[in-house]
Each structure stands twice: as structure tokens, then as C-alpha cells.
Amino acid sequence: MTGLFVTLEGGDGAGKSTQADRLESWLRDQGRQVLRTREPGGSDLGHELREIVLHHTGHIDPRAEALLYAADRAHHVATVVRPALARGDVVVQDRYLDSSVAYQGAGRVLDAGEIRDLSLWAAEGLLPDLTVLLDLDENAARERVDGRGEADRLEAEAADFHGRVRRGFLDLARDEPDRFLVLDASQPVDDLAAAIRQRIQTLLHP
């Protein structure tokens, strides 16, 4: 049995963790082995990189930031994700390379194509079987994030940054319609979970 690689993407506050939780428990009920993981921070080394990239107090040069996420990705894919897929697990992952393209590209300094190439190099070409994009208006997302307490370095970016991130994700989804399932994240949690399950069913039992 070969595994299945599912990633959840979207802006901060779009509801990725909630949907990942739902999906994980449904898959387990189906008798599947599930690896639930995330980037940044899904490996031992990644924990340390996550601390730097989210909580470093000084400025981080955009290229350095892109490389930190890429380093996290390289180690995570090689030591956590690929072994799980080889075992036949379903990998349910919060954020992957599309986040790099949308976020690091949204600063307008770096070219989206270059960031994608860097991520693909880091991950030795591994692309998800399915990427669920939870799309939410940046103002609605901001209200959800503000309710959580202290913002990290990226959450604290201005609204226009998050607007560019959102458009970045939608551009990616438009370019690869077969890989992406785009959902309106303002819908009820149960409806979103059902839509995701339906798509996964078709991948598990083609």
C-alpha cells in the first residue's frame, strides 16, 4: 500500500488545524495509519528552526527566511514525511511548499518561481497528492487570529501582506487545479470537513 500525502494551506486563521483534526480522526476510523505533521517544526531540527523563523526578534533577510523554511522542509521531508509515505501512511500536514510561495513571495522581493524551485529542490520534488486550500477573506482571518492572543512574526504583518498571501494561494490553485481543492473557509466546519472527506475518498478508492 502506498501512502497519500495531503496538505492543508491557507492564511493564518483559516481553520487548517481544525480541519486537519477532523480529517485525522475520520481516517483513523477508516482504519488508516495517519501521520499528522506540520511545517515549520515537524521534525526535531524543525522545532529549533520554527523558533527562529517565528520568534526571532530582529529583522530576517527575505532570502534567509526562505532558506530557513526550505531547510525545515528538507529535513522534515527526508526524515518524517517520506518514511511515513513509504510505510503506507496517510500524511496530513499543516502547510507545505505552497506556503513558501505565497508568504515568501508576498513580500514582493523574491520571485515566486524561484521560491517554488528552491522548495522542490529541498523536498527532492515531492508534491502532495492533494492540497486543500482554505480560502478566507484577510479581514475575517484577522479577526480570528486577533482572538488567539499574541501574534507571531508573520501574523503581525500588515493586512495588505495577508491580502497578497491570499492571492498568491489562489494563483497557485488556479495553476494546478488537479492538485488543489479550494474551499470557502467561511462555511461551517462540518460542511468543510465533509467536502474534504469526499475528495479523499476518491483518492483512497479510485
Question: Comparing C-alpha atoms, which of 71, 121, 117, 83 is closest to residue 5?
Answer: 83
Nearest-angstrom CA–CA distance, 158 and 163:
9
Nearest-angstrom CA–CA distance, 30 and 26:
6
Out of 152, 160, 175, 191, the only residue in the binding site for ligand TYD (CB under 6 A) is: 152
Segment interacting with ligand TYD (CB under 6 A) among 80-88, 123-131, 152-160, 181-189:
152-160
Q: Does 19 bind ligand TYD (CB under 6 A)?
A: no
Residue 35: enclosing H or E segment and its boundaries?
strand 34-38
Encoded amino acid at 113, one letter: G
Q: Does 105 bind ligand TYD (CB under 6 A)?
A: no
Residue span 164-183 as binding mask against ligand TYD, x where in contact by CB under 6 A, dash where not: --------------------
Q: Does 69 bind ligand TYD (CB under 6 A)?
A: yes
Q: Does 138 bind ligand TYD (CB under 6 A)?
A: no
Out of 5, 103, 169, 180, the only residue in the binding site for ligand TYD (CB under 6 A) is: 103
177 preceded by cis ω (within 30°)?
A: no
Cβ closer to ligand TYD: 129 or 155?
Answer: 155
**Long-range contacts of the stretch 157-165 (C-beta < 8 A, 24+):** 161/106, 161/107, 162/11, 162/12, 162/138, 163/138, 164/106, 164/108, 165/11, 165/102, 165/103, 165/106, 165/138
Q: How far is the CB of 30 from ligand TYD (least distance, A)?
A: 26
Out of 12, 89, 135, 138, the only residue in the binding site for ligand TYD (CB under 6 A) is: 12
Binding-site ranges for ligand TYD (CB under 6 A): 12, 38-40, 54, 69, 94-95, 99-100, 103-104, 152, 154-155
